[in-house]
Amino acid sequence: MRVEDIKKIGIIGAGVMGTQIGELFAQKGFRVLMVDVNQDVLERSQKETEGKIFVAPSRISWHLDLREAIKDADLVVETITENLDLKIEVFAQLDKYSAKHTLLASNSSAFPITWLLNKVSEERKPKCANMHFLNPVEISQIIEITKGEYTSDETVNLLAGITRKLGKKPVILKKDTPGFIVNRMIGALQRECYAMLEEDVASVEEIDEAIRLGLWLPMGIFQLSDMIGLDVVYSSMKWMYDVFGLEYLKPPDFLKEMVERGELGMKTKKGFYTY
């Protein structure tokens, strides 16, 4: 397969990331099929996209039926809820219902692609990789592409070619490390900022200002956490802690409590900040 042969893109999960990823593909001329298990989410995604004139919503369709939607996709990007068991099941379905040539990519924030392939056929495994889009998708400059244990060089090259067509720079990881490069670094910054908040060193606003103006980063870590979604942040931190078992990776109790109260950041209009 050549990069030019990749025209139809299935996106599984029409939430925060799926919607933005679908819009980017459509904007660059690809045909996009958005799939979600939740009709309300599909409607919200469609409404959001149709409000953006630069996207060409006519290239996107929205579906509840995964099987029908992906049957002749050339590339499928899985971007469902960050849950390992769910993702393993979805990859099994994608393997079963997609065409022989279809590439499968996961947008997981932390799971090595190799872990998602327990129920995927041997023929498909070389066609699977992690393709980590950063939020906000429109302005981010890179996509991290991780080569798993079975990923072929051809797949990595095709995904790197697609990344360039999307106007982004591919960053290739040769090792399937949990959290990849960017999230390992964000994790380190988050742990320190959350610890400073717990130690009452400074307020959320002051710590964010120090990050922005002192470290020259475009946004503070609390702002970024609210944008990612505190449920996603908590589950990524918890998962890293469970995998490595190192005490310093333990997510703070206050973060768990915020998630339990439904304070998930921008998507619920309340997190570290109020929106």
Note the residues at the interface with ligand NAD (CB under 6 A). Answer: 12-18, 35-38, 41, 79-82, 86, 90, 107-109, 133, 135, 228-229, 232
Q: Could you tell me whether strands 142-146 and 169-173 are parallel, antiparallel, or unpaired per DSSP bridges?
A: parallel
Task: Specify the residue, 13 or 57, whose C-beta has the smaller distance to ligand NAD.
Answer: 13
3-state secondary structure of 253: helix
**28 φ, ψ to 5°?**
-95, 10
Question: How many other β-carbons are positioned within 10 Å of the β-carbon of residue 146?
Answer: 26
Q: How far is the CB of 107 from ligand NAD (least distance, A)?
A: 5
Q: How far is the CB of 132 from ligand NAD (least distance, A)?
A: 6
Residues forming a β-bridge with 33: 10, 61
Within 10 angstroms of residue 241's Cβ, the number of other Cβ atoms is 15
Count of positions (residues) in the chain = 275
Minimum distance from CB of 228 to ligand NAD (Å)?
Answer: 4
**274: β partners:** 270
Looking at residue 32, the DSSP 8-state letter turns out to be: E
Between 177 and 203, CB nearer to ligand NAD: 177
Q: Which is nearer to ligand NAD, 40 or 122 (CB)?
A: 40
**Minimum gap (Å) between residue 15 Cβ and ligand NAD:** 2
The DSSP annotation for 129-165 comes to EEEEEPSSTTT--EEEEE--SS--HHHHHHHHHHHHH
H-assigned helices in 28-116: 39-50, 66-70, 84-97
Neighbouring residues of 270: CB distance < 8 A, sequence distance ≥ 6:
263, 264
Q: How far is the CB of 1 from ligand NAD (least distance, A)?
A: 25
Cite the active site residues.
109, 132, 144, 183
Instruction: Give the strands of the sheet with 128-133, arranged side by side.
Output: 60-63, 31-35, 8-12, 75-78, 103-106, 128-133, 142-146, 169-173
Name the residue nearer to ligand NAD (CB basis): 12 or 160. 12
Q: CB nearer to ligand NAD: give 14 or 156.
A: 14
| Closest chain position to ligand NAD (CB) | 15
Closer of 38 and 203 to ligand NAD (Cβ): 38
Q: In the complex, what is the shortest distance from the CB of residue 191 to ligand NAD, in angstroms, rounded to a whole number?
A: 18
**Cβ(231)–Cβ(259) below 8 Å:** yes
